Structure 1
Amino acid sequence: MTNILVTGSNGQLGSEIRGISSNYEYNFFFTDRSRLDITNFSEVKNFIDINNINAIINCAAYTAVDKAEEDELNADKINHLAVKYLAELAKEKNIKLVHISTDYVFNGENFKPYVEDDTTNPNGVYGTTKFTGEKAMNNINPLNSIIIRTSWVYSSFGANFVKTMLRLGKDKDSLGVIFDQVGTPTYAKDLAKVILDIIPNINNQQVETYHYSNEGVLSWYDFAKEIMKIAKIECKVNPIESKEYPTPVKRPHYSLLNKSKIKKEFNITIPYWKDSLYECLTVMGEKK
């Protein structure tokens, strides 16, 4: 029996993994910061030893992009040092490690979908600490370990863009949503399925990086329009430019990820973003 440690299990991806866990013949250990402090090397080591962990899915992350600018110490602890500790333990104990990273390791100034070995140049503390975590994992290089970068994650769990649009759409007659940031959303349940499906087939000597999001291309404005359409919310969505909605950290204007590598190496099919959004809103009881 494969014993899998899932960190950050109360987040969107961790919650989706928990939700489908009964479909898999794995023994799961779902943890959050109250049960396991992944920034404490000794605590993680003891947990792994006591529970005979064979694989780790690291869903834990400091994801408050703007807040990270004033909280760099904690962002670095979670996004960098904790990854370093997990990688060291994975190498020492021959444990598979799946680490979740982000499109924010890029600056968003590309003109074609990012491939895994494109030059990284993160904006802000969040992207920088996530990239530093990636570098630490690559330097330690535990066997049978992978990094999956993803983008625009949403779920029926937690706080996310979809839930925000549903809430605001029901309260307002109109909304302004950014149209000059382009990418693809990721339904966390789709990513959860992929991770659990590919774990038995991870077999590599060097840390491998993959990109995953749903298929398609859209702006946040397009995303909001489709949410309102499926949920039949009578709220007019107006396109606005990023400069009309300034934030402490510059968001990537172009976040498209090329998924060819993960599709080819693991023989997977990735759902179209509208189909996944429809499924998520159905699960949430918001499809009208």
Structure 2
Amino acid sequence: MTTAGSGIKRVLLFGANGQLGWELQRHRPEAVELCALSRTQADIAIQEQVEQAAENFQPDLIINAAAYTAVDLAESESETAYAINRDGAVHCAEAARKHSVRLIHISTDFVFDGSQATPYQPDSIRHPLGVYGASKAAGEIEIVRILGSNALILRTAWVYSTHGKNFVKTMLRLMSERDSLGVVGDQIGSPTWAAGLAAAIWRACAQPEFKGIQHWTDAGVASWYDFAVAIQEEALALGLLQRSIPIGMIPASAYPTPARRPACAVLDKSISYATLGAAPHWRQALRQMLTDNDSD
């Protein structure tokens, strides 16, 4: 069992119903009292609700895992995306400052445009391609303005879990329903199991010196095509699928979406791996997720 340590006993979590929020609850250290709030219980876009939650619970640390993550829908719902991803971040940061506690805020590789051939460093220049990435970048900027480097902004990517909607569960469903699939092969990233990310966040809670903007994903890189092929292979080996279907590689241009996506937004995790311990390769994590029976 992971321990929070460093005097952290009471943690206030926003975004309880998301993939990461669910895993953070599953992996809660025994010594931690966790107040996990869903959007219906505390909407981070509403300042009064965030303030009231912090006032009622009096946490030692706040984790903001709440976010507007509908990448394509954000293009037509920019006001809502910014209300949650920027203004919500402001409200969490202001609550942390008022109560003199640390904030751990989860961000995304979508703050980058994915145009460079080498992994992005934590201090790389942000250049988002769409509303989702821009709203998350704005949230990062506001947290730094309010809390300086005392907060931990942890960027991640391609998150999946046994809980909620995600690429892995969608692929498993389509592979059982269809006779073939075409999957984008020219977008590169690092698939990340939410359970491993949650465990890393709990380790980060124990290290208050781990702050500023940092990165965490599982090790290795893949295209969506690579990821899909691995999902089918692992699922067949585990008996989760009864047959193999052909999977073709298609360009992103053949699957147009309202929002542009980074072509190669790989994050450099060397600092976080050195501090928190290295993550497993994404293929190993995928195998673990597929053998995890605790799902919704």
TM-score range normalised by the length of the shorter chain = over 0.9
1:271 and 2:280 correspond: yes
Q: Structure 1 residue runs of 4+, over 3 Å off?
A: none
Aligned residue type for 1:188: A
Q: Determine the C-alpha separation between the residues in 2 that align with 1:285 and 1:97.
A: 29
Q: Determine the C-alpha separation between the residues in 2 that align with 1:285 and 1:87.
A: 33
> Post-superposition shift, 1:285?
8.6
> Post-superposition shift, 1:281?
0.5
Deviations 1:240-275 (A, max 9, x none): 0111001111111101111001122x2412111111
Return closer, same or farther for 1:143/1:254 CA change in 2, 3 Å cut-off.
closer
State the match for 2:68 in structure 1: 62
**Pairing partner for 1:213 from 217, 220, 224:** 217
**Pairing partner for 1:175 from 169, 173, 181:** 181
8 Å contact from structure 2 (residues 183, 249) kept in 1: yes
Structure 1 runs not aligned, ≥5 long: none
**Pairing partner for 1:7 from 10, 14, 21:** 14
Return closer, same or farther for 1:124/1:167 CA change in 2, 3 Å cut-off.
same
8 Å contact from structure 2 (residues 156, 217) kept in 1: yes
Q: Determine the C-alpha separation between the residues in 2 that align with 1:238 and 1:63.
A: 27
State the match for 1:241 in structure 2: 251
1:98-137 matches, within 5 Å, as: 98-137=104-143
State the match for 1:229 in structure 2: 233
For the residue of structure 2 that corresponds to 1:283, the secondary structure is coil
> Post-superposition shift, 1:144?
3.5
Q: Determine the C-alpha separation between the residues in 1 that align with 2:200 and 2:294.
A: 24
**Pairing partner for 2:26 from 19, 30, 33:** 19
Q: Determine the C-alpha separation between the residues in 2 that align with 1:83 and 1:27.
A: 23
> Post-superposition shift, 1:50?
1.6
Q: Determine the C-alpha separation between the residues in 2 that align with 1:146 and 1:56.
A: 10
> Post-superposition shift, 1:43?
2.2
1:258 and 2:264 correspond: no
Aligned residue type for 2:228: A
Return closer, same or farther for 1:253/1:143 CA change in 2, 3 Å cut-off.
closer
For the residue of structure 1 that corresponds to 2:103, the secondary structure is strand
For the residue of structure 2 that corresponds to 1:30, the secondary structure is strand
8 Å contact from structure 1 (residues 91, 143) kept in 2: no
Q: Determine the C-alpha separation between the residues in 2 that align with 1:124 and 1:84.
A: 20
Return closer, same or farther for 1:263/1:10 CA change in 2, 3 Å cut-off.
same
State the match for 1:156 in structure 2: 162
Q: Determine the C-alpha separation between the residues in 2 that align with 1:275 and 1:218.
A: 13
Q: Which moved more, 1:193-202 or 1:151-160?
A: 193-202
Aligned residue type for 1:255: A
State the match for 1:147 in structure 2: 153
State the match for 2:207 in structure 1: 201
For the residue of structure 1 that corresponds to 2:200, the secondary structure is helix
